[in-house]
Chains A and B, each alone.
Chain A
Amino acid sequence: MDAGQWDIIEGGKMSSNNEVPKYGLLTASTPEEAVSLLTQYGEQARIMSGGTDLLYLMKNGVVSKTPQYVVDISGLPLNYVNYSASDGLRIGATTPIATIASDPNIAQYYAVLSQAAATVAAPQIRNQGTAAGDVIQDTWCWYLRNNYPCWQNGGNVCYGVLGDNRYYQSIFGGRLTFAVNPGDTPVAYYALDAEVTVQGPGGSSTMPISQLLPGEAIVGGIVKENSLQHNEMITEIHVPPPPANSMSAWYKVRARQSFDFALASAAAVLTFNGSTISHASLVLGGVDVAPHRATAAESYLVGNTLTTTTIQEAAAKAVADAEPLTTGTGNSFRVFLAQGAVSKALTLLS
């Protein structure tokens, strides 16, 4: 082995210099064309939108995530944000995350999404990473990113369960894979009941975000966190109009204030009748294999007002059914962070 090449502990093997391996570039100018290229090239081809996640995986040499062909969709006319009171919000798939964070209508009507987008990664990554990419990105579990042969990388084990599960493993259990869904904006989309438009070989259809991100999907024999077929692409994300008298807030706990994924986050959308909560949507991020709806806390909040006591009670209910890992390093500390995130988000609305 070259002196200049470094070898990560057994199992994982990374490229020594973070260069992107050779790939063939396929350019699409319509969603239909992207889908037909994906169909033609099969499993060897993957969509590249901003490329921040895909190129990173390729640089790290993660085998099952490194395609031979890349279908570049950045030239598609899908960079837009449209808002209207009657239709709600429509975000094109290739819209930069930075645009979501700075759009005045999103800030006014969907504060939780605006704030979640503003806490994604770092400014340069928000300028390049896109709406659909943040939803479909792979987990940032260190084992996957270091090319360990885990469930999501052609193997049949989740290293996180027995190993270091402090940062990237679920505290709400899992089945095969325990790695958390990493995105921030998907947590807000969940709380806002968004749906996505998917272009496939048979045409275009819509599905709720909860169906797109089921936590674990086995698609074509591969364990993934989203349910897309390899030749399907997201074209648009649609968020319904905000209910009258509703407010929303976001709180993200992270080790560093920038460049960092959520150790836990909370997205809250509350509708009020006077000061009484008439509808509650409360979703936790970074703690489960998909954004995690805190149903017990939601039903507790309905009919209550926001007080210090009810906020603490809701936060406790949100994590009451947590099952942190006790094997490996263990990750029970994130139960407290999740509880704290809920109480912070609700406090922002009180």
Chain B
Amino acid sequence: MAGEDSARGNSNEETGSNPLDTKMNRRKFLKASAISAGVVGLGGIALSSGNATTVIETPTANVPSTSNADPFASQIVTLNINGKDVQVGVEPRDMLNNILRDSLGLIGTKRPCNRMECGGCTVLIDDVPHMSCTYPAFRAVGHKIITVEGYTMSSPEATVLNALQQAWVEEDGGQCSGCQPGQIMSATALLLNNQNPSLDDIKTAMSGNICRCGNYAGIIASIQTAALKLQGGSA
């Protein structure tokens, strides 16, 4: 069990050299992307350093051509992440989180528990919060994926993300911050639908995100401050 499984996930073990190999690990990915300006730009971190060469803008929606003839096959699919289409190899067992972090280097999204028990891996799929650690990547094809790196887009989601990130700084929303990308994504979904949330609305919307540091008061204050910024249009 060790050999095969530990080559994935958090391990740094080098895996195959096929660039479409979805198990390409982060270290190797960063090496590759340093040469090609990298998909990291997709999330904004390196956006100013030029166009990300591995991002392919395809106007046609790519529907997974799942063939029951070869059920184990990896496929190249197009995922729409933070407003950009990107092609990536996906095998059935790949969860969206593995693809975001390990194949695409979008490490803003965390994977604290990897079993739906913390919410730290939350991303938006069509603006609805999902736990990316246990969301099959192939299902994300044809849907709009927004991660915490999405703040560089020009979109309603980015407006909310910017207000939240600013408020998070002002209100000390984070302590160790391991949970924060997930918290911010759940808060983004809330504020997209409801710019004047009550305390109960906030608690309900955030009830799928656990903060090991227990910084709930700071998180709630941050969301309230972000809501005020959005209402005042000062985000």
- CA of A37 to CA of B129, assembled, Å: 31
- Pairwise interchain contact A16-B2, C-beta atoms closer than 8 A: yes
Residue of A at shortest CB range from B190?
A: A123
On chain A, the residues within 8 Å of B208 by CB distance are: 121-125, 258-259
Residue of A at shortest CB range from B66?
A: A27
On chain B, the residues within 8 Å of A59 by CB distance are: 114-115, 134
Partner of A124, one of B68, B92, B130: B130
Q: Mark B88-132, 1 if CB is under 8 A from A, else 0.
A: 000111010010000000000000011111010010000011110
Q: Mark B130-150, 1 if CB is under 8 A from A, else 0.
A: 110111101100000000000
Residue of A at shortest CB range from B65?
A: A27
- Pairwise interchain contact B117-A259, C-beta atoms closer than 8 A: yes
Contact of B60 with A by CB under 8 A = no
On chain A, the residues within 8 Å of B11 by CB distance are: 4, 17
- Given A17-B5, A17-B10, A22-B72, are A127 and B130 also a contact pair (CB < 8 Å)? yes
Partner of A128, one of B91, B131, B186: B131
On chain B, the residues within 8 Å of A27 by CB distance are: 66, 68
Least Cβ distance of A257 to chain B in Å? 7
- CA of A231 to CA of B158, assembled, Å: 45
- Pairwise interchain contact B138-A25, C-beta atoms closer than 8 A: yes
- Pairwise interchain contact A5-B207, C-beta atoms closer than 8 A: no
Within 8 A of A (CB), among B1-17: 1-2, 5-6, 8-11
On chain A, the residues within 8 Å of B153 by CB distance are: none
On chain B, the residues within 8 Å of A210 by CB distance are: none
Residue of B at shortest CB range from A51?
A: B136
On chain B, the residues within 8 Å of A72 by CB distance are: 66
- Pairwise interchain contact A56-B136, C-beta atoms closer than 8 A: no
Contact of A19 with B by CB under 8 A = yes
- Pairwise interchain contact A127-B129, C-beta atoms closer than 8 A: yes
- Pairwise interchain contact A18-B119, C-beta atoms closer than 8 A: no
- Pairwise interchain contact B9-A19, C-beta atoms closer than 8 A: yes
Q: Mark A60-100, 1 if CB is under 8 A from B, else 0.
A: 11000000011010100000000000000000000000000
Total interface residues on B, CB under 8 Å, equals 40
Contact of B192 with A by CB under 8 A = no
Residue of A at shortest CB range from B131?
A: A124
- Given A4-B11, A25-B138, A70-B92, are A124 and B2 also a contact pair (CB < 8 Å)? no
- Pairwise interchain contact A123-B205, C-beta atoms closer than 8 A: yes
- Pairwise interchain contact A1-B2, C-beta atoms closer than 8 A: yes
Contact of A336 with B by CB under 8 A = no
Contact of A20 with B by CB under 8 A = yes
On chain A, the residues within 8 Å of B119 by CB distance are: 122, 124
Least Cβ distance of A183 to chain B in Å? 16
> Quick one: which of A61, A122, A124, A128 has the most chain B CB within 10 A?
A124
- CA of A128 to CA of B121, assembled, Å: 14
Contact of A26 with B by CB under 8 A = yes
- CA of A125 to CA of B113, assembled, Å: 14
Least Cβ distance of A242 to chain B in Å? 26
Contact of B30 with A by CB under 8 A = no
- CA of A117 to CA of B68, assembled, Å: 34
On chain A, the residues within 8 Å of B204 by CB distance are: 123
- Given A15-B5, A123-B207, are A23 and B115 also a contact pair (CB < 8 Å)? no
Contact of A221 with B by CB under 8 A = no
- Pairwise interchain contact B135-A257, C-beta atoms closer than 8 A: no
Q: Mark B65-86, 1 if CB is under 8 A from A, else 0.
A: 0101001100000000000000
Contact of B220 with A by CB under 8 A = no
Partner of B134, one of A5, A51, A69: A51
Contact of B210 with A by CB under 8 A = yes
- CA of A18 to CA of B186, assembled, Å: 23
- Pairwise interchain contact A17-B9, C-beta atoms closer than 8 A: yes
On chain B, the residues within 8 Å of A70 by CB distance are: 92
Within 8 A of A (CB), among B197-229: 204-205, 207-208, 210
- Pairwise interchain contact B68-A125, C-beta atoms closer than 8 A: no
Residue of A at shortest CB range from B132?
A: A124
Contact of A113 with B by CB under 8 A = no
On chain B, the residues within 8 Å of A128 by CB distance are: 130-131, 134-135
Least Cβ distance of A70 to chain B in Å? 7
- CA of A60 to CA of B107, assembled, Å: 24
- Pairwise interchain contact B116-A52, C-beta atoms closer than 8 A: yes
Contact of A220 with B by CB under 8 A = no
Residue of A at shortest CB range from B138?
A: A25
B-side residues, CB < 8 A to A, are 1-2, 5-6, 8-11, 66, 68, 71-72, 91-93, 95, 98, 113-117, 119, 122, 128-131, 133-136, 138-139, 186, 204-205, 207-208, 210
- Jot down 11 A-B pairs with beta carbons below 8 A, ordered by A: A17-B6, A17-B11, A18-B115, A19-B9, A19-B98, A22-B93, A24-B92, A25-B66, A124-B116, A127-B129, A259-B208
Which are the 9 A-B pairs with shortest beta-carbon distances? A24-B71, A122-B208, A25-B92, A258-B207, A18-B114, A17-B9, A27-B66, A123-B208, A20-B93
